[in-house]
Amino acid sequence: MGVIQSTYKFLSFFSYKSRRAINIVRTKWRLIGNGVQFSRYRIVGIPIIINKGGRIVFGDNLQLNNGLASNQIGINTPCVFRAENGSILIGKNVGISQSALVAKGADIVIGDNVKLGGGVKIYTTDFHCLDYRKRRDPEIDLAERKYSSVSIEDDCFIGAGSFVLKGVTIGARSIIGAGSVVTKSIPADCMAAGNPCRIIKSLTDCDPRTLSQNTHQPCYEY
């Protein structure tokens, strides 16, 4: 049994290292081929990148987890970055797992030190008209679609499986609970969750004795 386990571990390690080496090369070619601006990054697996008349910028020290092998929380999908007549602008020290960012007709702006949990979806459009009569005609449906930018400010944490929809701004340091559907903007230093997403509490509700008058010290115990 020990020999079988040792052989299995060796072959698994060798297979992982081989795939990783190949994936590194494929990922770099994919970034360059789609005109992505990037510097240092750590990418496990291969993201899907689609750039149609848009702009994609990866800030320094980006961490991307693609697929189940890189983040074992039951979401077996790569990250998707689709910029179609819109921009995806990602700040420094950002971590993204198995998420989809679709900047269609508007921009997605991610600040510094943001964490996007597994399976987060960010869309700048509804993709179709809300009026069923217009959806019946593909040309009208396309012409009448609405687009609006999304902004996630510095130090936010968006929980796994959440949707952030068009026109939303999430203020700095706020936390969005897992599985939320964010349809309206959330101010800074808040915890919010639900469908539709609502503010649960302020993250600045700390004991006043622990705060100096001129120091901003958000409370993250919850």
Determine how β-strand 80-84 pairs with β-strand 198-202.
unpaired
Which tokens in the block code for residue 56? 């994609």
Q: What is each CA distance from 10 to 15, 17, 152, 164, in whole angstroms?
A: 9, 11, 42, 42
- CA–CA gap between residue 217 and residue 63 (Å, rounded): 27
The identity of residue 131, as a single letter, is D
Q: How many CA atoms lie within 13 A of 33 on its CB side?
A: 10
Task: Give the gyration radius of the chain's Cα atoms.
Answer: 20
Task: Just list the catalytic residues.
Answer: 128
Q: What is each CA distance from 17 to 14, 93, 107, 186, in whole angstroms?
A: 5, 25, 36, 42
Element (H, E) at 151: strand 150-152
Closest CA to 114 of 47, 52, 162: 162
